[in-house]
Amino acid sequence: MAKKISCLGENIIPPAHVGVIMDGNGRWAKKRGLPRKFGHREGAKTFRTITRHAKAVGVDYITYYAFSTENWKRPKDEVESIMDLFEKYLDEVKDFIEENIRIRFIGDRSVLRPSLQEKMLDTEETSKDFDAMTLVLAINYGGRDEICHSVKTLAEKVKRGELDPKDITEEMIERNLYTEEIPPLDLVIRPSGEQRLSNFMIWQAAYAEFYYTNILWPDFKNADFDRAILDFCERNRRFGGV
């Protein structure tokens, strides 16, 4: 059955899985003569708003690129500020839990603060049976790192004699990604004017549609999200066929 996007006043089948590359926080702050961390704070507010709106319009999964494996190269005070924001968000995550939203995290969390790791596990456990929508946060995540992780897992099975290399399939690699049980991306939204994937879910985005906009992430509104959904619905997705 087609889902309704009531705010648009018409029957539309939205993408099941939307990925968002939250870009432009630093530039938003710089334009206002503020430290970059203020841009990240504003971006966090946009994240909350768009998540609720995505649920309202019928998206089943939404994944945000929150912190990449490359972001550790940023100034130490900026990285610390971002980690503080993650901690603050997880302290407030009960708001999403009350809305029946399941929360998942993908990426290598082993190098994150122990307190943050603990909150991530607790949040996943508390929300694991919720089904209104699944919110996925990619923290210390990189698409190449994820594929490497999957291949290493399969290599261990080969080493133990449990798997013959010639029997390795795409499905096996997929099952060992961080996104096990999460469907491939249908639509990737990237604000701020950049037009690249930046190592975001490169396996899962193989047949995704891309939507770019010059709007900086802290200025991204529900109406901008709606425009991306409508644009997606007008695409002809052939998945390699005719």
CATH number for 115: 3.40.1180.10
Residues 122 and 84 reside in one and the same domain = yes
Instruction: Please pick, among 11, 60, 71, 219, the residue that the annotation labels catalytic.
Output: 71
Give domain status of residue 48, yes or no. Answer: no
| pLDDT recorded at residue 6 | 45
Give domain status of residue 105, yes or no. Answer: yes
Residues 121 and 153 reside in one and the same domain = no
Q: Is residue 224 flagged as an active site residue?
A: no
Annotated binding-site residues for Mg(2+) read: 23, 209
Beta carbons within 8 Å of 2's beta carbon, 6+ residues apart: 11, 12, 13
Instruction: Please pick, among 23, 60, 140, 186, the residue that the annotation labels catalytic.
Output: 23
Give domain status of residue 219, yes or no. Answer: no
pLDDT, tens digit only, all 242 positions of the chain: 345 444 555 677 899 999 999 999 999 999 999 999 999 999 999 999 999 999 999 999 999 999 999 999 999 999 999 999 888 888 777 677 788 999 999 999 999 999 999 999 999 999 999 999 999 999 999 999 999 999 999 999 999 999 999 999 999 999 999 998 899 999 999 999 999 999 999 999 999 999 999 999 999 999 999 999 999 998 876 766 65
Give domain status of residue 117, yes or no. Answer: yes
| pLDDT recorded at residue 1 | 39
Residues 135 and 155 reside in one and the same domain = no
pTM score, whole prediction:
0.91
Residues 61 and 125 reside in one and the same domain = yes
Q: CA–CA distance from 232 to each of 70, 119, 235 (Å)?
A: 29, 35, 5
Annotated binding-site residues read: 23-28, 36, 40, 68-70, 72, 74, 190, 196-198, 209
Residues 119 and 149 reside in one and the same domain = no
Domain span at 121: 12-17+27-38+53-91+98-141
Residues 71 and 86 reside in one and the same domain = yes
Structural domain tally of the chain? 2
* Beta pairing, strands 10-11 & 17-21: unpaired
Contact between 110 and 145 under an 8 Å Cβ cutoff? The reply is no
Q: Is residue 214 flagged as an active site residue?
A: no
